[in-house]
Amino acid sequence: MTTYLITRHPGAIEWAAQQGVRVDKLIAHLDPELIQPGDVVIGTLPVQLAADVCARGGRFFNLTLDVPPQFRGRELSADNLEAFGARLQAFEVRLIASQVSE
């Protein structure tokens, strides 16, 4: 089992370290082909990539935080993440239709 942290943000990397999150591989962009059953993926992913992780037998933990509007689009520090309630939440995501009419 491999634990991946998917981020390009230094604040998220520092926050995860401060929380004691064990990370085997830190990567900026996820290639779903890397994921094996039992792997753990942590980050903020587009929904289709989160679904790919789950379909391949991985577990997806979203880095969830409540960012005030005035901070959106800014680079956030580990302290910012903590102040905005950063937490890891497990989600099971799956594709149920490829088009609206299905």
Q: Is residue 72 part of a domain?
A: no
Please indicate, yes or no, if residue 86 is contained in any of the structural domains: no
Q: Containing domain of residue 20, as a range?
A: 1-29
* Other beta carbons within 10 Å of 60: 23
The span from the CA of 78 to the CA of 61, in Å, is 18
pLDDT in tens, 85-95: 999 999 999 99
How many domains does the structure of the chain reveal? Answer: 1
What digits encode the pLDDT tens for the residues 34-83? 999 999 999 999 999 999 999 999 999 999 999 999 999 999 999 999 99
pTM reported for the whole predicted model = 0.92
